[in-house]
Structure 1
Amino acid sequence: MTFIWTLALILFFTKVAGDLSVRLGQPSVLGKLLIGIILGPAVLGWVQNDEFVHYLSEIGVLLLMFLAGLETDLDQLKRNWKSAFAVAIGGIILPFIGGYGAAAAFGLDTSFALFMGVVFSATSVSISVQVLKDMDRLNSREGTTILGAAVVDDVLVVILLAVMMSLLGGDTETSIGLLIGKKAIFFVAVAAAGWLIVPWFMKLLGKMKVTEPVVTTALVVCLGFSYFAEIMGMAGIIGAFAAGLAISQTDVRDKVEHKIEPIAYAVFVPVFFVSIGLNVSFDGVLSQIGFVVVLTLAAVVTKLLGGALGARLTGFNTRSSFAIGSGMISRGEVALIIAAAGLESKLLAQEYFTSVVIAVIVTTLVAPPLLKAFLSQGKKETTDNK
């Protein structure tokens, strides 16, 4: 029954930490991430990243991205597709160079250094989504560009990872053509399903004489899209986001959002935030502190500048460009999954795994206050100009 106590601790302390963070002028998500480090093995050791926490956190991030899809203005997303693509490209090239350069500077061999570049090319905007939602900016030009860039980034980094594992990891069975083909099939399939099947499915099952048929059907669509994304080599969060976009075009959008948001934020999303911090361990870090600092600085600066450059070249002003760049900084669970895959395929040395995890966690902690600062500055400028 210890899992009940674990859940009670997580739910209580995430709310307290989130409240304290807001009172100190920071996004609530920053406090929730930090409390994960404090409750976890790195400090108090009260909560472990066990199977129970892992599965709840997986559901949490899927629901978070599903709600983001529900709230996204699809027309705005379509209008900003060029910016999203440019931001994704800039946010891959510079971090790849930065990750490779930092690793090479500390004497890692070429294959390890190249893989480090791939790890820090990744982006996870699930944390940025929470900041955008808190500030009511999810449907702003900046918000939709960040979301669109995250989708493009996920596709390109997965392909880059496959190429790297094929060339350096001994995975000769990986076909790049097949990999790209699966991505294309995914997008065609979810677009067709979202347009033709989801509205019909929601209407059909929504008529069932049972409790909350519409909400349950929406969750089935979310989880089904997420599972399909996973088997097609995509991150599950992309499938959840696509499911949210599909349901946002139906007449039950508001009902679904109103019902699912309390479920997500009462239980599952807090566990996801805490799970990020649970990955931190300080064992053996002191011997690599210089490497951790350089790697973290490279990860933050290159993603910020790469994303900002892509946004600036496609018409955003300087402040908005840096807001978009800061929204792309977090590597989150995506980079952790890539790092684990690299460890298994011998592309990442065991002795550097903890350092990489800490650098990933720091990028996730840095993103929320930076994004809030740039968005708040823009809001103040707008107010001053009225």
Structure 2
Amino acid sequence: MDINTFLFSLILLIFLGRALGLLFVKYKFQSLIGEVMGGIILSPLALGLIVPSDILRLFAQFGIIMIMLLSGLLTDFKAFSEHKYKSTLIGVLGVSVSMTLISSILLMLGISLEASLFIGVILSNTAVEVCANILMKSKSSKEIQAIIMGASFVDDIVAVFLIGVVGSITLGNNITILSLLILSIGVALFILIFLWIVPYFLEKYSVIDKLIGSGPKREKVLLTFTILFALLLGLVAQYVGLQAVIGAYIGGLIIGKWGTKVGPMLRRRVAYEDLVDDLEPFSHALFTPIFFGYVGLTLGEVLSKFGMTFEMGILVFLLTLGALAGKFIGCGLGARLSHLDKKQSGFIGIAMGGRGALELVLLSIGYEKGIINGPLFASVVLVTLLTVIITPILLSLYEKRIMASP
């Protein structure tokens, strides 16, 4: 691909993805649905104006890292700390039940153990961004919202660990009890070191505070540090068996955790908000339409090759049902065990049903690495998009008919 073709492809992906994304936002849905649809329209399935290529894939992968960095920055540690026991129980049960249910459905349909585990882990994760978006429009109490956001945080950490273990196994490593134990320890140590030990030393020696600078024209040293830090953690993550996107996400979590602590004269909070303000516009305007547009291109290419068969339709239906039911049962059970009433437990179980960016990122990696084939990739992308559409609709109906009833 020459530079002219590359630039033309970027123009089309950004323009159409952004336009459709904004249209979906107008009607209270996630913009990623429109951005994926933009890629499908431009793909060989429809207009055939863009074909997935190595250079576009690499550009999209850098976009993924920036998206996951921002996602980590915006994850709410405070929500977790306020209701950590309830959130932990809800998050862990939500992941466990969802993974078991989805993997079982795939195994019963004759899908290989490796692919079933990989998809089961991916679809066991709740999208923090989907939760945050639907709760903004919800009339639920602040306590319930804090519990849901905290549970989403726990959900992410548990899913990250499982994705690291299962992802490494499915990439063809020899599976023995010893290798599985070593891998699990390596992933656990990575998460422990970078989520608790590194933040402790950064806080103790005020490392990040020294990068803030002063004055209205201060250099963006903190921004440079944050991007380099995320890239470094992405590289380290690759070496321990995780994916670079997980490292970038944890890098964002570390900086986000630093930003939520009270500093002298609110300098820390102001610097953190400036950092998010610097990264967020680029994410929405550039990185997300390119990455999700590339997912749409890949999906369109796969569908043009294999078509949408009856078997794929059944798989999409069953997985969507399993994905929503797994969270409803698992998170709802966790809420009941946390002494919340039936209505609140049902609300939490539905609210945790949406999947999103991380799932599409990992699916793309799994498809590129050969863990899942084309029809499976297409089916699970469609399931992810359906949960993003269905979850806010179900929650709205539940609020009006169940929560509002005496």
TM class by shorter chain equals 0.7 to 0.9
Q: Does 1:202 pair with 2:208?
A: yes
Q: Does 1:359 pair with 2:382?
A: no
Distance 1:172 1:222 in 2: 32
CA deviation after TM superposition for structure 1 residue 174, in Å: 8.2
> Residues 205-244 of structure 1 correspond to what in structure 2 (within 5 A)?
205-207=211-213, 211-244=219-252
Letter aligned with residue 185 of structure 1: L
Q: Could you tell me which residue of structure 2 aligns to residue 41 of structure 1?
A: 44
The secondary structure found in structure 1 opposite 2:309 is helix
Note the aligned Cα RMSD (angstroms).
3.3
Distance 2:11 2:357 in 1: 31
CA deviation after TM superposition for structure 1 residue 140, in Å: 4.0
Q: Could you tell me which residue of structure 2 aligns to residue 177 of structure 1?
A: 181
> Residues 1-386 of structure 1 correspond to what in structure 2 (within 5 A)?
1=3, 2-78=5-81, 79=84, 80-102=87-109, 104=110, 113-123=112-122, 128-135=127-134, 137=136, 140-163=146-169, 175-190=179-194, 191-197=196-202, 200-207=206-213, 211-248=219-256, 249-250=258-259, 251=268, 252-280=271-299, 281-286=302-307, 289-315=309-335, 317-327=345-355, 331-343=359-371, 353-377=373-397
* 1:138-176 CA-partner distances (Å, limit 9, x unpaired): 97432332342133123224424555666xx76679811
Distance 1:125 1:114 in 2: 16
Q: After superposing the two structures, state which structure 1 stretch, 2-11 or 236-245, moved more.
A: 236-245
Distance 2:277 2:38 in 1: 28
Contact 2:118 2:170 in 1 (8 A): no
Q: After superposing the two structures, state which structure 1 stretch, 371-380 or 273-282, moved more.
A: 371-380
Letter aligned with residue 182 of structure 2: L
Distance 1:119 1:72 in 2: 24
Contact 1:88 1:150 in 2 (8 A): no
CA deviation after TM superposition for structure 1 residue 285, in Å: 2.6
Q: After superposing the two structures, state which structure 1 stretch, 322-331 or 86-95, moved more.
A: 322-331
Letter aligned with residue 363 of structure 2: A
Letter aligned with residue 5 of structure 1: F
Distance 1:270 1:130 in 2: 16
Letter aligned with residue 122 of structure 1: V
Q: Could you tell me which residue of structure 2 aligns to residue 109 of structure 1?
A: none
Q: After superposing the two structures, state which structure 1 stretch, 175-184 or 152-161, moved more.
A: 152-161
Contact 1:88 1:307 in 2 (8 A): yes
Cα distance change, pair 73–158 in 1 and its aligned pair in 2 (3 A) = closer
Cα distance change, pair 184–331 in 1 and its aligned pair in 2 (3 A) = closer
CA deviation after TM superposition for structure 1 residue 101, in Å: 0.9
Contact 1:72 1:245 in 2 (8 A): yes
Letter aligned with residue 202 of structure 2: I
| Identical-pair percentage | 19
Distance 1:165 1:357 in 2: 16
Letter aligned with residue 141 of structure 1: I
Gapped regions of structure 1 (runs ≥ 5): 105-111
Contact 2:125 2:155 in 1 (8 A): no
Cα distance change, pair 69–263 in 1 and its aligned pair in 2 (3 A) = same
Distance 2:113 2:350 in 1: 27
Contact 1:33 1:273 in 2 (8 A): yes
CA deviation after TM superposition for structure 1 residue 380, in Å: 5.7
* 1:324-360 CA-partner distances (Å, limit 9, x unpaired): 13347984231342344345xxxx6xxxx22112102
Distance 2:244 2:162 in 1: 15
Contact 2:72 2:250 in 1 (8 A): yes
TM-score (norm 1): 0.82
